[in-house]
Amino acid sequence: MALLDFLKKIEPDKKKSPFLHTLYDGFFTFAYTPNTVTSDGVHIRDGMDLKRTMVMVVLAMQLCYIFGSYNIGHQHFVAIGENTGLLEGFLLKIVYGLVKILPIFLVTHIVGLGIEFFYAAKKGHAIEEGFLVSGALIPLIMPPDIPLWILALSVTFAVIIGKEAFGGTGMNILNIALLARVFVFFAYPTTISGDEVWVAGLEACSGGAAVDYGFIETSIINPLFGWLGMSGFNEAATVVDGYTGATPLGLASKGGWDAVTAVYSTDQMWWGAIPGSIGETCKPFIIAGALLLVTIGIASWRVMLSMLMGAAFMAFALNLWGATPFMEVPWMYQFYMGSFFFAMAFMATDPVTAASTNTGKWIYGFLIGMVGMIVRVMNPAYPEGWMLAILFMNVFAPLIDHYVLESNINKRLKRA
């Protein structure tokens, strides 16, 4: 109570200092559930407001952050032939991953929340909570070495054009995190495609290429680890001969399943010890987050299950066609590669941009699965499809709900 009384005493005046009051309100409602409720006509009350709902979604991603930090370091050391075992140099790998992921996380939130604070103060309303989830998702779907200025531009575009232009949180028609990624994909394609962007800290992925360590690694971490009697970063290291930073999808698009298994085992792909976006590789951790969201009722199991069915159906149909090596990849192994489970758990289930009716969710998810698999296998420019498929179906979600409601109305009219 003492903290609550103190916070109430230092509340800035809303008219004299709108921006400071916006910042204060954002912190206050994050620390304490607002006590403003609907006065009439509501018989069920819940302590789960929008902020706390968003926080639960962010918590569901934390295993992805932990593994993503480790995998950034693991892929880097595999490339230079050091600490290649899964648990070798574990602490060094985690530290290196944090050095890479923290700037991405900070830039995303400073830019995104800064824009949200500005618009909230300008409009004279409380800070909207929607960026809590978008800000947690964006770092996980980016390459570990993305230039921070490009990241800042993509976040700015996504928040202003994708959300604020439509009225703010809850009014956007496209998934904000995916909009940030699609901006990078179309504006700076070499930053998010190819074989070299998925492994951090290398001048190139070819044999003999030098490492690219910065001030933090050489002047802070190395002396600290040396003082602790631990090995640090080898500034003279080079990429081993024969190394490839290609993702399984990149290999499959060129040589089919045989090309993939020549480099990666199915266990590596399932557990996520492969190059890729920061948080999209470890399938069991993503599934654990998805189960949490379904259990607490935040994400729709209908969208997840129907998306799985749609992807499996289309992958099996492409197997029957078999016109290219990528089409011949066994349909069940399509789920071992790429970001399907991450897209299914955290992107397609966005309640703002997904279909709202139960029947609509089945249709919406199934079509994402089908369209995403078609784009993944048949698009020569980019061997992955879930980003484009989800954004495409975001646009059609209201139309799907419209026809589902019209169908229900017509059925009831016939009975009447």
The residue count of the chain comes to 416
Mean pLDDT of 39-59: 67
Q: pLDDT class for 54, splitting at 50, 70, 90?
A: confident
Identify any residues that bridge with 202 across adjacent strands, giving them in sequence order.
211
The reported pLDDT for the residue numbered 238 is 94
What is residue 48's predicted lDDT score, i.e. its pLDDT?
Answer: 54
The pTM of this model reads 0.89
pLDDT at 204: 87
DSSP per-residue letters across 186-232:
HHSGGGSSSSSTTS-SBS-SSTTPBB---HIIIIIIHHHHHHTT---
Phi, psi of 323 (to 5 degrees): -75, -25
Dig out the tokens for 153 from the structure: 């531009």
- In this structure, how many other beta carbons lie within 10 angstroms of the beta carbon of residue 58? 14
Beta-bridge partner residues of 211: 202
pLDDT over threshold 80, residue 64: yes
Q: How confident is the model at residue 126 (pLDDT cuts 50, 70, 90)?
A: low
The DSSP call for residue 238 is B
118: nearest Cα among 127, 129, 109: 127
Query: pLDDT tens digits for 242-284?
Result: 898 899 999 999 999 999 999 999 999 999 999 999 999 999 9
Q: How confident is the model at residue 42 (pLDDT cuts 50, 70, 90)?
A: low
Output the pLDDT for position 166: 86
Model pLDDT for residues 173-231, shown as the tens digit of each residue:
999 999 999 999 999 988 887 777 899 999 988 889 999 999 999 999 999 999 999 98
Residues 6+ apart with CB under 8 A from 236: none
Q: How many CB atoms lie within 10 A of CB 401?
A: 19
Pull the structure tokens for residue 151. 């990241």
Buried b (16+ CB within 10 A) or exposed e, 188-217: eeebbbebbbbbbbbeebbeebebebeebb
